[in-house]
């Protein structure tokens, strides 16, 4: 470390010309977060249509009795299979498969931190999401921008599938 430079300037500070890749990663992380929120809203709407109990109380039950995304998805899956005719199920199953299969990436996007990768002469050569360094195997579990973009795109596709399903069963 050069005399007079702070630790932040040496290790944690991005110069203006280094921010583009970091900003691109943050944009994709934001897309995942917002799209996951959109999916949760649609799942709640669907449970309000198909779930057990009085119509005005179904949303409350869905929000409070299922502690996490997987539990809500399981609860809705049971409601869909109980309430829908078999010919409508392929639409649901397509969305359900996308949502079930992307769990690992969603959790990593939510809990990993952005890491900028520099050469020894401080040239930025990449940005990725990584678990904390002290957990081991961080590089092997890292996500590149393309991985995070794909997760966001899959959530957009799943939301579209859910709305297609809703439109089919509402007729």
List pLDDT tens digits, range 84-104. Answer: 989 889 989 988 998 987 777
List the Cα angle 121/113/140 in 5-degree steps: 75
Strands (E), the chain: 113-118, 124-130, 143-144
Phi-psi region for residue 20, left (φ > 0), alpha (ψ -120 to 50) or beta?
Answer: alpha
Name the nearest CA neighbour of 41 among 162, 153, 150, 149.
162
Does the pTM surpass 0.75? The reply is yes
Give the separation between CA 155 and CA 95, rounded to whole angstroms: 9
Task: Quote the pLDDT of residue 163.
Answer: 94
Task: Quote the pLDDT of residue 78.
Answer: 94
List pLDDT tens digits, range 103-147. Answer: 777 788 888 888 777 777 766 667 888 888 787 777 778 899 999
List pLDDT tens digits, range 6-65. Answer: 555 555 566 676 677 788 888 999 999 999 999 999 999 999 999 888 878 898 889 888
């Amino acid at each position: 470390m050069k005399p007079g430079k702070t630790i932040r300037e040496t290790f944690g500070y991005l110069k203006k010309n280094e921010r583009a890749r970091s900003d691109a990663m943050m944009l994709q992380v934001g897309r995942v977060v917002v799209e996951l929120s959109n999916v949760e809203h649609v799942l709640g709407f669907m449970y309000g249509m198909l779930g057990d109990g009085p119509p005005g109380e179904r949303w409350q039950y869905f929000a409070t009795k299922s502690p996490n995304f997987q539990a809500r998805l399981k609860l809705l899956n049971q409601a869909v299979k109980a309430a829908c005719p078999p010919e409508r199920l392929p639409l649901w199953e397509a969305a359900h498969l996308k949502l079930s299969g992307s769990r690992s990436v969603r959790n990593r996007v939510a809990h990993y931190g952005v890491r900028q990768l520099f050469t020894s002469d401080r040239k930025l050569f990449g940005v990725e999401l990584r678990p904390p360094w002290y957990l081991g195997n961080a590089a092997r579990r890292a996500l590149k921008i393309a991985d995070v973009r794909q997760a966001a795109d899959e959530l957009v596709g799943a939301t579209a599938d859910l709305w297609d399903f809703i439109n089919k069963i509402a007729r």
